[in-house]
Amino acid sequence: MAKKIAPQPFPRIQIDFSPEIPPLKKMKDKTKINVRYCLIAPFAFVHIFWNSKINEMVYEIEEPILDENEKEIRDEIVTAMSEMINFDTLVKRDQDSLLQYIDERFKILIAELAINLSYESYGKIYYYLCRDFIGFNEADPLLKDYFIEDVECNGTNSPVYVVHRIYRNLKTSLIYKDNDKLAGFVEKLAQRCGKYVSYANPILDGTLPDGSRVNATYTKDISNKGPTFTIRKFTKSPWTPTQLLSFRTLSPEMLAYLWILVEHKMNLLLVGGTASGKTTLLNAIAFFIAPEARVVSIEDTLELNLPRDNWLPSVTRNSTGIEKVGEVDLFTLLRSSFRQNPDYVIVGEVRGKEAFVLFQGMASGHSSISTIHADSVETVIKRLETPPIELSPTLLNTLDCVCIMTHAIVNKQETRKLKEIVEIVDISPTGVALTNTPFVWNPSDDQFYFKSGSRIFEKICKRYGMKMEELELEFRKRVQLIYKLFINRVFEFDKMRAVIDQYYKQPEEVLKKYGVK
């Protein structure tokens, strides 16, 4: 047998996990779509194109191709490295230190095992080591794609699907063919979420370190296709109000109206279906909270990213074992939050007994903002009045405004819209709501319409001793300011936050700066 020669140490391969985001355009004719862009430079790319054989758009992951010898060496290195790596170290270190850590151990093993490698082969194998030990294995390129909103695996021997910001639902080239390997990946997701899955606890709900939300199942008892997972990705910085304006999700008038409601501590409920944009709108509305105000947020899994310092984020904790030892639920957190002196209480989603505490808090003067799954004011009231929530109509009268988000198809493109803003004027003892709708989106012409005569503006004037003329003038100024910020492309998180904060302290200077009269 020929003796293997240990090579001289290679210079470290440079990997960029956040390459430049390419400009992608929507195309009406899907059959003409043929784009390719980098996900992990210089190794991983995606090719999105119309596959005429299946008459469907596909998302094809392109990674370095290993020959049989390279595959054997990679497997040998992975086995050896698994025994020498401290996984606690992997979790705690920053990315550059992690890459250095993998590189050093790779070189040690090359020398110890006397493996002869070309620099090209070394680079390809190093990529796979980084992808699998630091990242998320075969799914890592998908999670690195800026344009991906959701990654959906329905089990083994079934293509993984993604929801793309531009091209929407796409079948990918990734297929998990081994049940044990997929189960191992679900275990890895749980470990990165700081949680645990097993045959006794086969459902995972958690949040990855980057803020992405994970729901997964572990056994065939739950899904006959085997383990499954769905990862909802979130942007590192929340969408700003002006960015939502650029997406035509809502209008400047809607934003100015919501700004005034938030400033004057009205109680808001954001409703809509799954992935309709409720949390995105909630994050955007949070920009309008005064900089010195104390905010307490409560969620099942961390999704909120509020642009402020005086913010206390709380998250529920699952129990361990049948006796629910150590469980901290929404109800407990919400009840505790009112002792934390909040100016605003934000609940990620209400769906059970915690709604009673939330509405009690509204009644006692704590301004509250939350989301709930529903598609209309009538549906919201029915959900709140019937089990498991069962609120009385009297308590529902503490709610001031309902914002209804919806999925919509505009010019054959899927989008999200703030369908309408509805003011709750009164709810009768029989549960019938008297409402006023100052803002509405018209799907026939894709335009937003608003009318004067806000009942909540009347309530604000009475509560704060203001004149209606004053408040309406302030509303018009803020409409102009928001539009000017949009025109001047003030989209960045920090810049938008700075403008709002300064407006609370020096409104005339801000208006003058942006030419608002």
* Spatial contact of 163 and 149, defined as CB atoms under 8 Å apart: yes
Which of 450, 484, 455, 483 is CA-nearest to residue 471?
455
The proportion of the chain whose per-residue pLDDT surpasses 70, expressed as a percent, equals 95
pLDDT in tens, 190-227: 999 888 898 888 999 888 888 888 999 998 878 888 99
Q: What is the 3-state secondary structure (H, E, C) of 59-98?
A: EEEECCCCCHHHHHHHHHHHHHHHHHCCHHHHHHCCHHHH
Angle at 505 between CA 291 and CA 345, to 5 degrees: 25
- Mean pLDDT on 451-472: 94
Would you say residue 6 has pLDDT above 50?
no
Q: What is the mean pLDDT of residues 417-443?
A: 93
pLDDT of res. 449:
96
Residues 6 or more apart in contact with residue 306 via CB below 8 angstroms: 238, 283, 286, 289, 295, 297, 313, 346
Query: For residue 7, is pLDDT > 80?
Result: no
Q: Picking from 340-354, 429-443, 449-463, which range would have the lowest pLDDT averaged per residue?
A: 340-354
Determine the Cα–Cα distance for residues 261 and 241; give it in Å rounded to an integer: 15
Fold agreement between 30-232 and 241-453: no
Kindly report the number of other CB atoms within 10 A of residue 445's CB atom.
7
The answer to whether 89 and 100 have CB atoms below 8 angstroms apart is: no
Q: Which residue has the higher pLDDT, 513 or 349?
A: 513
* Interatomic CA distance for residues 189 and 196, integer angstroms: 9
Tokens standing for residue 111? 């020398």
The domains of the chain are located at 30-232, 241-453
Rounded to a whole number of angstroms, the CA Rg of the chain reads: 26
CATH entry, 30-232, from 3.30.450.380, 3.50.50.60, 3.30.1330.60, 3.40.50.170: 3.30.450.380
The pairing of strands 413-427 and 203-207 is: unpaired
2 pLDDT above the threshold of 50: no
Has residue 37 got a pLDDT over 60? yes
Find out if CATH 3.20.20.150 is the number for domain 241-453. no
pLDDT digits (tens, 9 = 90+) for 76-129: 999 998 887 766 655 556 788 888 888 988 998 888 888 888 999 999 999 999
Least confident of 90-94, 264-268, 281-285, 454-458: 90-94
Say whether the peptide bond before residue 388 is cis (omega within 30 degrees of 0).
yes
